[in-house]
Amino acid sequence: MTTPKQEQAIIKKLEKLAILNDPINPDLYKKYDVKRGLRNANGTGVLVGLTRIGDVVGYEIKDGQKIAVPGKLIYRGYDVEDLINDSKVNKQYGYEQAAYLLLFGELPSQEQLDTFSKYLGECRVLPSNFTEDMIMKAPSNDIMNKIARGVLACYSYDDNPEDRSIGNIVKQCIQLIARFSTLAAYGYQAKRRYYDNKSMYIHNPKPELSTAENFLRLIRSDKSYTQLETEILDLALILHAEHGGGNNSSLTVHVVSSADTDTYSAIAAAVGSLKGSRHGGANIRVVEMMDEIKANVKDWTNEKEVAEYLRKIVDKKAFDHTGKIYGIGHAVYTISDPREKLLKAKAKELAKEKGCLEDYALYDIIERLAPAIIQEKHPSAERVCANVDLYSGFVYTMLNIPRELFTPLFAISRIAGWSAHRIEEVVSGGRIYRPAYKNVSETRPFIPLQNRK
């Protein structure tokens, strides 16, 4: 039997071999005109598909030049800001309407929305014995891992999981949209019990409540919440529900669905993509960065002091030494991120209710100062603006939502967009994704086993 010490030594040797044999000369990417990360040289994405679901507008191409414009987020042809304002006017939670629009391509009537919301509510309860067998008996220290496993486990509770007719896929997607908040909340409760040695609270979701209301109910011991708390969480869910077909997790849904696999496999793959720190975990990095700024800047209202520390971060002398000011900059938005603008306005309301206006003011200072400081360090780079992650983590913190649930909240929201992309790929795709990779290794003469050293 291999001992742990022997295993460690074996892995160390294998690690050296892996590192030695996998590096690729960066010059080769230029030589073969490789679009690394599926991005063009000017930062725009390589066009690999068409979609009718969402659009992320941050620039226009005129005479071959990329021209920055104020950011817009479009769901099925409608500006997301109009969708949010409509929910305000009608005094309704808006995430369910956003999910309906993304799935079916049209704004629902009140009757259609009520029927859809009722069905979602009924589907929030997990199948019989699922909580005990699939969550409590196999807890995870990472909630995204638990959600992915939960999604795959749903396959076993589906009477017809391999039916890839559109009607069945729609049914599967609606059930997953409903269940994601429950999977995340119960996964968190199991983590509290088995990893944090804290009390665990398993509350039943209420079918008449919205996604935002149910989530706060399920993660809190007393099941209580205020109207403003659920309103701002609902807003965050709407703003994260979709972001075009080119973001990594939505592209993952298209790629995996193009292989003609089942819904659960495609959505679990998307969860795995979002779990990555380069995709779904940015707001956690923001609040961690803010913790360090608060600990090292004596006067949060002193813009000179704040700017000095931001320069340390950009110079890789502070925080995580990457040179990144988290929450600033985006792949598409350069003038403004419409999600950030909408969430920031509501965040100020919540900051007043929670007594966090000093914190809000610090975020505002960083939003104003950081772009110019980044430009000082990188004068040839494109202009940057604050993105939604700057305020989303702050909002979740004020809602007393644990940090390990920040990325799961993203998934709870984005499952609506993923579902829409899953359906779109099955309806309109019809061809498996098969991009090319250029082999740049040399041909070598084979060495028989007995002659190897």
Question: Tokens in use for 290?
Answer: 């803010």
- Which SS3 state, helix, strand or coil, does residue 118 take? helix
CA distance 43 to 213: 39
Which residue in 262, 337, 359, 389 is the catalytic one?
A: 389
Beta bridge partners of 74: 55, 79
CA distance 369 to 293: 14
Beta bridge partners of 386: 328
- Residue 330: active-site member: yes
Residue type, 397: T
CA distance 385 to 42: 18
Rg (C-alpha) for the chain, rounded Å, is: 24
Helices (H), 378-430: 389-398, 406-428
CA distance 418 to 412: 11
Tally helices (H) and strands (E) across the chain: 18, 3
CA distances 341 to 44, 89, 338, 416, Å, are 23, 19, 5, 22
DSSP string over 111-146: HHHHHHHHHHHHH-SPPTTHIIIIIISS--SSHHHH
Q: How many CA atoms lie within 13 A of 380 on its CB side?
A: 1
Q: How many CA atoms lie within 13 A of 41 on its CB side?
A: 6
Which residue in 243, 254, 330, 421 is the catalytic one?
A: 330
CA distance 451 to 448: 5
CA distance 306 to 28: 42
Residue type, 324: K
- Residue 389: active-site member: yes
Are the CB atoms for 362 and 409 separated by under 8 Å?
no
Are the CB atoms for 323 and 433 separated by under 8 Å?
no
Question: Tokens in use for 318?
Answer: 């502070």
Q: Which residues are catalytic?
A: 330, 389
